[in-house]
Chain A
């Protein structure tokens, strides 16, 4: 069974810093990898979706990379802002069952003004 891990569970950085969030998965046979943002008491908002054939995706200050061979994905946030404070989750789509996504527990990010 696919296991998705996100370390650290929490991260606190000063405003303006560039940062990297990590996502590891145990089975490299993934269909895609999706990054989400979750604000307290809210649902998940999709940030970036990387297909298995892609190496990275970019949206504004966000860049997500995917390395299937090493079982890793990273989310890079440039010039962090207090508004970036949220929990970030990654989810790996299964090749064996296209309707199953395996979620990590998330990294709670706090950007201090």
Chain B
């Protein structure tokens, strides 16, 4: 099993450009999450999904959109990138919610200039 994979690993964007980050898991997990990690601030939840076709806002959702059209994939979109969105983005999944451990992807390092 590959576990949780993320594409791309690195990306540099100019302000105003758009992009989509892809997260894929092969563990048949129901719940998926997108976090961002910034120095000294820990991980903050952007959006999450409790199953195929569902999405919900997390702690810092502004400027991001998500979609979960297939159970194994969770997409994070930036419509108009801003320098404040420079961060490392992590995707995670759990089998069925918080009673189970979270599995994380390797991260995507995004720089917005």
Query: Interface size for chain A: under 10, 10 to 19, 20 to 34, or 35 or more residues?
Result: 20 to 34
**How many residues of B are in contact with the other chain, CB < 8 A?**
28
Q: Tell me whether A44 and B104 are in contact in the complex, defined as CB-CB below 8 angstroms, given that A100-B58, A105-B40 are known contacts.
A: yes
Interface status of B12 (Cβ within 8 A of chain A): no
Can you list 22 A-B contacts (CB < 8 A)? A32-B99, A43-B105, A44-B43, A44-B102, A45-B104, A51-B99, A89-B42, A91-B43, A91-B102, A98-B97, A99-B33, A99-B50, A99-B56, A99-B97, A100-B58, A101-B98, A102-B42, A103-B35, A105-B40, A105-B41, A105-B42, A106-B42
Most chain B beta-carbon contacts within 10 A, residue among A42, A43, A106:
A43
Q: A51: which B residues are within 8 A, CB to CB?
A: 99
Q: Is the interface of A mostly helix, strand, loop or mixed?
A: strand
A101/B40 in contact, CB under 8 A:
no
The answer for the CA separation of A103 and B46 in the assembled complex, in Å, is 13
A4 CA / B102 CA spacing, docked (Å): 18
Candidates A34, A41, A98, A106; contact of B102 at CB < 8 Å: A34
Beta-carbon contact of B40 and A98 below 8 Å: no
Question: Within the complex, which residue of A34, A103, A105 is in contact with B101, where a contact is CB–CB below 8 Å?
Answer: A34
B107 touches A42 (CB 8 A): yes
Number of A-B contacts (CB under 8 A): 63
Bound-complex Cα distance A104 to B43 (A): 8
Q: Which residues of A93-111 are within 8 A (CB) of B?
A: 93-94, 98-106
Contact A89 B43 (CB under 8 A): yes
